[in-house]
């Protein structure tokens, strides 16, 4: 398939036979069951609303990482918002990677947050023998309390999990300010982990290898491979 940026993308109703269009060079056909809702009310010639375009591109994506990239681009360039994408997703009963997309869109419902936390605790920390972090540890930062997602007190180390990785760039300064404040005033260093790095067992193992190596460079050695074949975590502590 052509690179999506170089192609013209056409949305056609799902019940329309695609054979007539599929052979046009540089044209990518998206067959959608949501065309009525998808049409932008103002644009001429008719085009689909950004949210529907994003989800059509996600349906055509080869991997979740590619799908995730479309979300980050759409929000990062301020073409839409997480809330509008969540709303559009709710109206699509069929959606690939729904749970992972909800995580990427930063829905702050407890259920979604707990999925991310569970993946970190049960997929990264526990099977790799890493210490159990204090969750939502409170730190006073001059103007108010801040909460650290996963704080390893003995290591002065914090692992922040960016559920809403698709923040526009100008909202990310708060995270950067907070990380810098912790480093300067509390001697607490931070690494940030996106939801993609917690999605699959392989990704969780790779994340665990980074966290184990990072922590072990700051304090007592910690971490060992999990039971998964090919786990890249170095054997830094005795197997339990």
Q: Binder to Zn ion among 11, 74, 157, 231 (CB under 5 A)? A: 231
Element (H, E) at 9: strand 8-13
Pick the closer one to Zn ion by CB: 161 or 226.
226
Name the 3-class secondary structure at 60. helix
Provide the minimum distance between the beta carbon of 226 and Zn ion in the complex, in angstroms, as a whole number.
Answer: 3
Provide the minimum distance between the beta carbon of 205 and Zn ion in the complex, in angstroms, as a whole number.
Answer: 3
Q: Binding to Zn ion (CB under 5 A): which residues in 186-215?
A: 205
* 115 lines the binding site for Zn ion (CB under 5 A): no
* 226 lines the binding site for Zn ion (CB under 5 A): yes
Provide the minimum distance between the beta carbon of 162 and Zn ion in the complex, in angstroms, as a whole number.
Answer: 21
End-to-end CA distance of the chain: 49
Single out the segment in contact with Zn ion by CB under 5 A; choices: 36-44, 94-102, 136-144, 229-237.
229-237
How many whole angstroms separate alpha carbon 70 and alpha carbon 235?
A: 37
Single out the segment in contact with Zn ion by CB under 5 A; choices: 9-17, 83-91, 173-181, 223-231.
223-231
Q: Which two tokens stand for residue 45?
A: 């010639």
Length in residues, the chain:
240
Single out the segment in contact with Zn ion by CB under 5 A; choices: 34-42, 80-88, 115-123, 228-236.
228-236
Provide the minimum distance between the beta carbon of 222 and Zn ion in the complex, in angstroms, as a whole number.
Answer: 14
DSSP 78-133: TSS-HHHHHHHHHT-S--TTHHHHHHHTT---HHHHHHHHHIIIIIIIGGGTPPPP
Q: 64-76 and 50-60 helices cross at what angle (nearest 10)?
A: 160
- Name the residues that contact Zn ion, by CB under 5 A: 205, 226, 228, 231
């Amino acid at each position: 398939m052509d690179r999506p940026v170089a192609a013209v993308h056409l949305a056609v109703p799902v019940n329309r036979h695609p054979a007539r269009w599929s052979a046009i060079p540089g044209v990518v056909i998206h067959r959608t069951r949501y065309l009525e809702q998808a049409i932008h009310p103002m644009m001429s010639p008719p085009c689909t609303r950004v949210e529907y375009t994003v989800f059509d591109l996600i349906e055509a994506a080869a991997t979740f990482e590619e799908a995730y990239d479309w979300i980050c681009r759409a929000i990062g360039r301020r073409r839409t918002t997480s809330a509008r994408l969540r709303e559009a997703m709710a109206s699509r009963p069929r959606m690939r990677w729904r749970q992972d997309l909800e995580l990427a869109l930063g829905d702050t419902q407890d259920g979604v947050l707990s999925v991310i936390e569970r993946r970190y605790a049960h997929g990264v920390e526990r099977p790799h023998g890493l210490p159990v972090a204090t969750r939502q540890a409170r730190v006073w930062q001059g103007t108010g309390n801040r909460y650290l997602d996963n704080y390893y007190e003995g290591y002065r180390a914090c692992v922040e999990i960016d559920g809403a990785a698709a923040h526009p760039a100008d909202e990310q300064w708060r995270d950067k300010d907070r990380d810098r404040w912790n480093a300067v005033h509390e001697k607490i260093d931070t690494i940030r982990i996106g939801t993609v790095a917690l999605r699959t067992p392989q990704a969780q193992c790779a994340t665990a290898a980074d966290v184990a190596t990072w922590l072990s460079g700051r304090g007592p050695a910690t971490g060992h491979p999990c039971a998964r074949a090919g786990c890249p975590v170095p054997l830094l502590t005795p197997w339990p």
